[in-house]
Amino acid sequence: MKYRNLLGKKTKTKIIVFESDDWGSFRFKNKYIRDKFIKNFNPHLWMHNYDTFESANDLQNLFDTLKAIKGKDDKNPKFTFLMNPSNPDFKKIKESNFQNFYNETFLETLDNRNDGKEIFDLYNTALENKMIEIGFHGREHLNVNQWMNDLKNNDKIAHLGFENKVWGFSGLFVPNAMKSYRSTFDINSYHEIKKLKNNIAEGISIINKTFNQKTTYFLPPDGPYHLSLNSELVHNGIDYIGLSKLHNNPLEPQWYHKKLFWIGKTTKEGLTVITRNVIFEPSSPRHNDPINFALKQITDAFKHNKPAVISSHRANFVGSLNSQQRDISLKLLSDLICKIIKIWPEVEFMTSSELGVLLKNS
């Protein structure tokens, strides 16, 4: 944390951006399947323990929390939802004898839920009220190439997950699991780049059609991502990209391959880079005091005239697997935002793309 805010563009305004990953994606579908794999709570598996597809009740509770708070100019706090707009269609994949990958879009997933229409309406209302931005997080939160190869080759662990409609493994709850399949853009060969370009084009198109928008922000899931894909992002309308400060391209582990990024840096393709510098994961047992942990990082960002870009995953704010924990996280979120406004009443809340516009034009 000591050096994270030294490089990058400065902003005169104190800015808060909440980025929240994994919306729209599957993890464990219900408690029965979760408990089948995770019998006892493990702090290293906290996200697996709580994360599942968002319900209408989850969205309503989060949006009510944000609407209840007013900041500068009587404006509400806002979130950037990093979305995976499709998931595997398990039925069709099985019918193909695991030879072909098929997906179901976000809208198709909603069609199979009793609260699907309500979920869609809540998303659209939040977009209209500028309470959220929907960014791109990969077509699925799934490495399709690795997963399908293992399914075709009758890998026992891949098929165990398939039978339970889950692929996000950990060796901590599935013995001998060597990979989780959740890193969408990880590669074992440069030949996979072409398929991932299609992933980008199709995924962004699904979001744009679903929400009648032009998606402009992208953040790769789980980190692995080859920068040669940047041109495809630009071709599909992306202007801003979330990257770690020290980026490693897959298949290029040498020190001289590492790329240094900072907030506001422009890539050779013209993408404006946004880097995160604050963690707020209230459901994680790793942080005994998540509010003060986040406030210290925000203070350091503002000290160096940097925006505070906060990482806070969906797992904190969904309650189908543990509604009590969701409610605790929402209370902590409310308390954090209220403390931010009290300490820095001039603070402005932005989405990632709104910050991107500011950085690009500064």
DSSP-assigned beta bridge partners for residue 311: 19, 279
In whole angstroms, give the CA distance from residue 48 to residue 118: 25
CB 203 within 8 A of CB 244: no
Long-range CB contacts for residues 71-77, cutoff 8 Å, separation at least 24: 71/337, 71/341, 71/345, 71/347, 71/348, 71/349, 72/345, 72/346, 72/347, 72/348, 75/348, 75/349, 76/129, 76/131, 76/349, 77/16, 77/18, 77/337, 77/349
pLDDT of residue 256: 81
Assign domain 15-361 to its CATH superfamily: Glycoside hydrolase/deacetylase (3.20.20.370)
Helix (H) or strand (E) holding 27: none
Would you kindly state where each structural domain of the chain is located, as residue ranges?
A: 15-361
CB 220 within 8 A of CB 252: no
Regions of the chain where pLDDT drops below 50: none
pLDDT digits (tens, 9 = 90+) for 233-266: 999 999 999 999 999 999 998 988 899 999 999 9
pLDDT of residue 231: 98
Q: How many other C-beta atoms can be found within 10 angstroms of the C-beta atom of residue 26? A: 23
CB 168 within 8 A of CB 252: no
- Name the phi and psi angles at 315, rounded to 5: -55, -25
CB 147 within 8 A of CB 181: yes
| 152-to-100, 174, 211 alpha-carbon distances in Å | 9, 20, 35
pLDDT digits (tens, 9 = 90+) for 156-179: 999 999 999 999 988 888 988 888
| 288-to-1, 224, 225, 281, 291 alpha-carbon distances in Å | 18, 29, 32, 11, 9
pLDDT of residue 2: 59
Whether the CA torsion 223, 224, 230, 236 is positive or negative: it is negative
Copy the structure tokens of residue 141: 């939160």
CB 152 within 8 A of CB 146: no
